[in-house]
């Protein structure tokens, strides 16, 4: 069950990335405040709260996405980022 949730959340993160890239096409997806866009989109346009079994505070989700990015970059795991972030979000939010 947890794996299924992680896969679903990973897919939502991937979708958020696709939407972000379209919205920021003029900068080829470059956006220093990407985590705010992701958290806004995930909370307003996806079933992320249902999958996490609670509604994260947007600023907390933004912070956690930035923390995931920093840790993912530092650790350089072999996993693709959406799945790795999804597992970390499940750890943080239950």
* Mean pLDDT rounded to a whole number for the chain: 93
pLDDT of residue 23: 86
What is the C-alpha to C-alpha distance for residues 38 and 58, in angstroms, rounded to an integer? 10
**Exposed/middle/buried for residue 21 (C-beta within 10 Å: 0-12, 13-18, 19+):** middle
Task: Indicate whether 31 pLDDT > 80.
Answer: no
Task: Indicate whether 1 pLDDT > 70.
Answer: no
For residue 29, name the pLDDT band (cuts at 50, 70, 90).
low
Tell me how far CA of residue 35 lies from CA of 1, 2, 55, in angstroms.
27, 24, 16
CA dihedral (38, 11, 77, 23) in degrees, to 10, reads -40
pLDDT of residue 27: 75
DSSP for residue 53: T
Which tokens hold the place of 54? Answer: 């609670």
Task: Indicate whether 3 pLDDT > 70.
Answer: no
Residue ranges per structural domain of the chain: 2-93
The closest of 81, 72, 69 to 9, measured between CA atoms, is 81
Tens of pLDDT along 38-83? 999 999 999 999 999 999 999 999 999 999 999 999 999 999 999 9
């Amino acid at each position: 069950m947890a794996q299924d949730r992680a896969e679903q959340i990973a897919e939502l993160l991937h979708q958020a990335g696709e939407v972000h890239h379209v919205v920021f096409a003029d900068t080829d997806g470059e956006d220093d405040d990407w985590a705010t866009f992701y958290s806004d989109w995930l909370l307003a346009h996806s079933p992320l709260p249902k999958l996490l079994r609670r509604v994260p505070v947007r600023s907390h989700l933004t912070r956690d996405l930035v923390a995931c990015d920093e840790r993912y970059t530092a650790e350089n795991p072999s996993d693709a980022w959406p799945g790795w972030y999804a597992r970390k979000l499940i750890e943080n939010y239950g």
